[in-house]
A = this chain, B = another copy of it.
Amino acid sequence: MDIGKLKQRNRKSKEIILKALIYHGAGERAWEEKSKPVVKDATDAIVKVTKTTICGTDLHIMKGDVPEVPDGLTLGHEGVGVIAEAGSAVSGFKAGDRVLISCITSCGKCDACRKGMYSHCEKGGWILGHLIDGTQAEYVRIPHADTSLYHIPDGADEEALVMLSDILPTAFECGVLNGQVKPGDRVAIVGAGPIGLATLLTAQFYSPAEIIMIDTDANRLEAAKTLGATKLVNGNAVDEIMKLTDGKGVDVAVEAVGTPATFDICQSIVAPGGHIANVGVHGKSVNLHLEKLWASNITITTRLVDTVTTPMLLKTVQSGKLKPQKLITHRFALNQIMKAYDTFENAAKERALKVILSN
């Protein structure tokens, strides 16, 4: 009797199949069968995904812009769900607990984590749907569960919380906190896509006097208006903003697109003493006009979200100060995710901001 083979057979026989949105190289995705994930390390948890969403970053991956994503990977780094199984070293969560999944995995132990810079965790960071299977599936394995998941308070709106996996902490940490938005400030947000609008929502935590949204899509600007923008600029951005600010420029310019042209707007409109907070994902270098800016007392920041503010954001959602569900425009069943991708890929035409997939 070959015990090794027997064990293998047993394991295989126990293997459960689920459905997942799988990447097959640039432009190729499929809703396919895959083995249900199992606890590999004692600090893992297996989460049954109840709601997930699609991120602009997923579209970048689909375009082939993120070459380290391997063929066969399940995409997705956002979602809420229920703990199906917790590894033996997981102390804060047990089967049945409802959880918010952070897009950033944090071991809680390395130098970066101890400094609150979870994005640069030596064993984590952004790995879900990037280097390991992600959340656009019926189940997902979450490493370092104790420090990468959050309990969902009773009575919470789970759709709202899906927005807290990535887009809200990204906008808040990279845009608002790094931009140091203060009461009375003039803030300009370049880009009124989901991430720009999330910046708009969270900038209001600090009561700036003005929030100017810049975009070339009239629908998105209209959405910005309803979400709290005080001024809208569509085209001819630098001139318009200098006019709106009596030639003084803005205290905080948030780059929420990720192109040289939009970064350039930011460096043209920032006032002396001001901040440029980069949120956009850039594929090219930009031309920084130090010959003008060296004497301007400005601060430029970059950041991959650390999700260190997730507990704070949870409190603001629970208290009703933040209503991220306003960003949701479309809803699908999880098994309709191929169609959801189609919609999200045509966001302008479909007037889509964030889509929710429910399981």
Residues of chain A at the chain B interface (Cβ within 8 Å): 42-43, 88-89, 91-92, 108-109, 111-117, 119-120, 146-147, 182-184, 204-207, 209-210, 230, 258, 263, 272-273, 278, 280-291, 293-304, 306, 308, 311-316, 318-319, 321-322
Contacts and interface: CB of A to CB of B under 8 A. Distances in A.
A289 B293 contact: no
Contacts of A204: 207
B287 A287 contact: yes
A206 to B, nearest CB: 7
Contact of A184 (B109, B113, B319): B319
Among A42, A230, A263, A300, find the residue whose CB has the most chain B CB atoms closer than 10 A: A300
Q: How many copies of this chain does one complex carry? A: 4
29 contacts: A88-B89, A89-B89, A108-B113, A108-B114, A114-B308, A117-B272, A117-B297, A119-B297, A120-B273, A184-B311, A206-B206, A206-B207, A209-B315, A209-B318, A263-B290, A278-B290, A282-B290, A282-B291, A283-B291, A285-B290, A286-B287, A287-B287, A290-B302, A293-B302, A295-B302, A295-B303, A296-B304, A297-B301, A299-B300
Nearest to A315: B184
A303 B165 CA distance: 33
Nearest to A178: B299
A145 to B, nearest CB: 10
Contact of A273 (B115, B206, B263): B115
B297 A120 contact: yes
A293 B183 CA distance: 28
Contacts of A111: 311
Contacts of A273: 112, 115, 117, 120
A269 B43 CA distance: 34
Nearest to A314: B184
A167 to B, nearest CB: 16
